Amino acid sequence: MNQRHLVVALAYDRLCTFEFGCTVELFALERPELEVAWYDFAVCAVEPGPIRAAGGITVQAPYAPELLEQADTIIIPGWRDADEAPPEALLVQLRAAYARGARLCSICSGVFLLAAAGLLDGKRATTHWRYAERLARRYPKVQVLEDDLYVDEGRLITSAGSAAGLDMLLHLVRRDYGARVGNMVAQRLVVAPHREGGQAQFLPRPMAHDEQGRLSRLMDYLRSHPHGEHSIKSMAGRAAMSARTLQRQFQEATGMGPIEWLTRERVAIAKDLLESPELPLAQVAERAGFGSEESLRHHFRRIASTTPGAYRRAFLVTATAQD
């Protein structure tokens, strides 16, 4: 990015405090250590009157909705009530902003504003799992991906509930500045740069304590020993449960089967290893547990939507620019 990118967050009465706070934390703080032209940030009130937020907080937004005409990115940090129709004037402004090329992003129930504006028709979107069925029923032209943490449709990005907003916001940083800067911001926030899996891992499902403990110990072991031939049978044996129970418990805990979970963990390990320019790709494949460069390339492209070489080049280019 060659010039300051203006991010504008919406403020409304009964503001969702956590989602709003995440947006402010990501974009409002100065980050000179990154040595890039960081974002400009502003908050605009979408309606007159006091802006009351959860927890008895009152927010004073310094700008009027007209600021949306200048925004490069607009963040909708939730919406006060998924069943309450947003102001028509706001929907007009959102349509106009999108038409002129702005990027619009929603957290949690904020997706209902984008859907009400008609901007998500024919596109994929997500929201908190509690709202997914309601969104799909009310807006049948929207393809609701109820398990995704966030969905990127170019200039329309939607995220699931609360903390998934951080995943999406960090994704925006990676898009704009590259993986290196995204990782540095995540380190400042003390969060993972990218979380694998979907919302299914967070759904309220009861699990017996002993099974939960065995599964957690197995996951820890696999993370620290990604290499080797880990089959369903060998994993089940290590966890002291049947293969059927193992697969059921993995699905309930992570939203995916054990082999797919392990493959994604290996890709995450490969990403960390690729940040070392001196490490040959064959050694990356071996240490991450893929066994061969061909296997690494296949799964890396499938899961990360890029090649190991392209990922490493993007990381190194960004790192060099900061030196």
Task: Give pLDDT tens digits for 193-252.
Answer: 666 555 544 444 444 444 557 887 888 889 889 988 899 999 999 999 999 999 988 887
- Whether residue 197 is contained in a domain is answered as no
Q: 104-122, pLDDT tens digit by residue?
A: 999 999 999 999 999 999 9
The verdict on 244 and 301 lying in the same domain is yes
Is residue 316, in this structure, part of any structural domain at all? yes
Looking at the structure of the chain, the number of domains it has is 2
Does 302 lie in the same domain as 251?
yes
Shared-domain flag, residues 209 and 164: no
- Give the domain-ending residue among 129, 163, 189: 189
What burial letters (b/e) apply to 161-196, b meaning 16+ CB within 10 Å?
bbbbbbbbbbbbbbebbbbbbbbbbbeeeeeebbbb
Region 249-267: mean pLDDT is 87
Confidence grade of residue 283 (pLDDT, cut at 50, 70, 90): very high
pLDDT band for position 3 (cuts 50, 70, 90): low
**Which of 49-63, 84-98, 309-323 shows the highest mean pLDDT?**
84-98
Can you say how many angstroms the Cα of residue 192 is from the centroid of all Cα atoms in its chain? 10
pLDDT digits (tens, 9 = 90+) for 49-81: 889 998 889 998 989 999 999 999 999 999 999
For the stretch 161-190, pLDDT in tens is 878 889 899 989 988 888 788 888 888 887
Question: Would you state the pLDDT for residue 197?
Answer: 52
> Does 1 reside within a domain?
no
Residues 262 and 311 in one domain: yes
Residue 194 lies in a domain: no
- The answer to whether the beta carbons of residues 80 and 137 sit under 8 Å apart is no
- Nearest-angstrom CA–CA distance, 323 and 309: 21
The answer on 160 and 285 residing in a single domain is no
Integer Cα distance of 98 and 150 in angstroms: 19
Does residue 248 share a domain with residue 211?
yes
Whether pLDDT at 18 is above 70? yes
Q: What is the CATH number of the domain that holds 288?
A: 1.10.10.60
Per-residue model confidence (pLDDT) at position 195? 64
Q: What is the secondary structure of 261-317 as a DSSP string?
A: HHHHHHHHHHHHHHT-TTS-HHHHHHHHT--SHHHHHHHHHHHHSS-HHHHHHHHHH
Residue 196 confidence (pLDDT): 56
CATH number of the domain encompassing residue 11: 3.40.50.880
The number of beta carbons lying within 10 Å of the beta carbon of residue 34 is 17
Model confidence at 39, pLDDT cuts 50, 70, 90, reads very high
Do 66 and 108 sit in the same domain of this protein? yes
What pLDDT does residue 202 have?
47
Residue 99 lies in a domain: yes
209 and 305: one domain? yes
CA dihedral defined by 169, 171, 174, 179, rounded to 10 degrees?
A: 120
Segment holding 144, helix H or strand E? strand 143-144
Instruction: Output the pLDDT for position 311.
Output: 85
How far is residue 322's CA from residue 17's CA, in Å, rounded to a whole number? Answer: 34
pLDDT exceeds cutoff 80 at 316 = no
- Tell me which of 164, 189, 214 is where a domain ends: 189
Q: What is the overall mean pLDDT for the chain?
A: 87
**Residue 288 belongs to what domain range?**
205-323
> What pLDDT is stored for residue 179 in this prediction?
75
For residues 154 and 102, give the distance between their C-alpha atoms in angstroms, rounded to a whole number: 10
- What is the rounded distance in angstroms from the CA atom of residue 93 to the CA atom of residue 113? 11
Give the residue, 254 or 108, on which the prediction is more confident: 108
